[in-house]
């Protein structure tokens, strides 16, 4: 099996993640995620954006809608604001969850692709609201001194101007403030589970599909 | 250690601490308090700032690092500012290198 991708704690990514394989998130993702394997948001991890994967496990925090081709599992430590859509959904008592549940087969790939990093919105779905202090508390990055600043001390000259490609806006004051929170959640972090066995390929992203039926 | 597997594409900016290995694609800037490795199958397009950078794949963009190593098969296109630079035979570097050079007094 392919080695899963890992976003470690202490790392923050702003933008979209998409592709093959499994992904384990200990850090902070600000944007949509789509992988054709399993996605695990570990305790202490945070994704602010809609997510789509074959299987999704939430032990950390998710602010955004979750779509899974097979199953969604929210463990007791999970905190989730958004809607869940999957053929099988399991929410463990103790989890904090606010949103709708749709136990159904995904008829087509949700429109996560139409994410605009500049505007930080999705055209297909309403954009997740900014992270509240409540949600951010305990899932924020640990204080590790100031991270290296791309604009300091000497600005790096871009290789070439790419006017057609827009970058995510610089972190807002609120987002920065949300980062500077205690790291108590990190101390209780669990070891990552082994991603579930792959059972075949997910249809290509962006194409309508109806072949995925829940296995009974 | 952070890992971007082959087939995974990140579009956006990544920042933080710790090591990161990229065997997939990162289209955006990376700022790390730690080492960055662009693996054989990896590609990174964007500005990089890290304590150490090793390039076995493709890196397109300016690099600012304590130490930079372009290894066999590695290709770096961009200007470099680093305290230490290593370029292996079989690696390629296209860009300007900016480094402190202590010349003997007679030369200055």
pLDDT given for residue A79 in this prediction: 94
pLDDT category, A27, cuts 50, 70, 90? very high
Inter-chain contact A14–B49, Cβ cutoff 8 Å? no
How would you class B75 by CB atoms within 10 Å of its CB: exposed for 0-12, middle for 13-18, buried for 19 or more? middle
Residues 6+ apart with CB under 8 A from A168: A14, A15, A30, A31, A117, A118, A120, B12, B13
- Rg of chain B taking only CA atoms, in angstroms: 14
The tens digit of pLDDT for each residue in B25-49 reads 999 999 999 999 999 999 999 999 9
| Residue A204 in this model has a pLDDT that exceeds 60 | no
A124-136: pLDDT as tens digits = 444 555 555 555 5
pLDDT band at A158 (very low <50, low <70, confident <90, very high): very low
pLDDT tier at A173 (50, 70, 90 boundaries)? low
Contact A20 B17 (CB under 8 A): no
Q: A24: pLDDT confidence band, cut at 50, 70 and 90? A: very high
What are B1-28's pLDDT values in tens digits? 899 999 999 999 999 999 999 999 999 9
Query: Which of A16, A20, A144 is facing B17, going by the closest CB pair?
Result: A144
Confidence class for position B63, pLDDT limits 50, 70, 90: very high
Give A88-113 pLDDT, tens digit per residue.
999 999 999 999 999 999 887 776 65
What is the pLDDT confidence band of residue A181, given thresholds at 50, 70 and 90? very low
Range B41-44, long-range pairs (CB < 8 A, 24+ positions)? B41/B6, B42/B4, B42/B6
Whether A148 and B31 lie within 8 Å, measured CB to CB: yes
Residue with tokens 């305990």: A138
Mean pLDDT across B78-103: 91
Q: End-to-end alpha-carbon separation of chain A, Å?
A: 25
A174 pLDDT above the threshold of 60: no
Please compute the mean of the pLDDT values over residues B57-77 and round it to a whole number: 95
The residue of chain B with its CA nearest to that of A152 is B49
Cβ under 8 Å to B: A residues 1-40: 2-8, 10-23, 27, 31, 35
Instruction: Find residues 70-109 of chain A whose CB sits inside 8 Å of chain B.
Output: none
Residue A146: the pLDDT is 47
CA-nearest of B78, B85, B95 to B43 is: B78
Residue A185 has pLDDT above 80, yes or no: no
The C-alpha atoms of residue A84 and residue A99 are separated, in whole angstroms, by 7
The pTM is what? 0.66
Shortest distance between the Cα of B44 and any Cα of chain A, in A, equals 12
Give the gap in angstroms from C-alpha A61 to the nearest C-alpha of chain B.
19
Which pLDDT belongs to residue B108? 59
């Amino acid at each position: 099996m392919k080695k899963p991708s890992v976003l470690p704690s202490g790392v923050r990514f702003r933008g979209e993640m998409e592709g093959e394989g499994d992904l384990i998130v200990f850090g902070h993702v600000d944007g949509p995620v789509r992988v054709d394997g399993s996605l695990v948001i570990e305790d202490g991890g945070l994704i602010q954006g809609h997510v789509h994967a074959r299987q999704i496990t939430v032990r950390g925090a998710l602010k955004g809608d979750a779509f899974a081709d097979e199953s969604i599992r929210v463990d007791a430590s999970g905190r989730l604001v958004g809607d869940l859509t999957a053929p099988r959904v399991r929410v463990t008592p103790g989890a904090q969850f606010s949103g709708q549940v749709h136990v159904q087969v995904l008829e087509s790939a949700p429109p996560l692709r139409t994410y605009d990093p500049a505007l930080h919105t999705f055209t297909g779905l309403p954009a997740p609201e900014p992270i509240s202090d409540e949600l951010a508390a305990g899932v924020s990055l640990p204080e590790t001194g100031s991270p290296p600043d791309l604009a300091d001390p000497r600005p790096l000259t871009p290789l070439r101007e790419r006017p057609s490609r827009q970058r995510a806006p610089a972190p807002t004051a609120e987002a920065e403030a949300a980062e500077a929170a205690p790291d108590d959640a990190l101390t209780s972090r669990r070891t990552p589970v082994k991603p579930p066995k792959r059972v075949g390929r997910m249809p290509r992203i962006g194409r309508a599909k109806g072949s995925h039926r829940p296995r009974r | 250690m952070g890992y971007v597997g082959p087939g995974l594409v990140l579009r956006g900016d990544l920042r933080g601490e710790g090591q990161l290995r990229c065997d997939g694609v990162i289209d955006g800037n990376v700022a790390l308090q730690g080492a960055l490795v662009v693996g054989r199958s990896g590609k990174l397009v964007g500005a990089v700032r890290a304590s150490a950078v090793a390039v076995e794949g493709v890196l397109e963009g300016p690099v600012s690092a304590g130490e930079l190593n372009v290894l066999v098969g590695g290709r770096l296109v961009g200007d470099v500012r680093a305290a230490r630079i290593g370029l292996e035979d079989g690696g390629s570097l296209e860009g300007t290198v900016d480094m402190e050079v202590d010349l003997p007094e007679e030369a200055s």
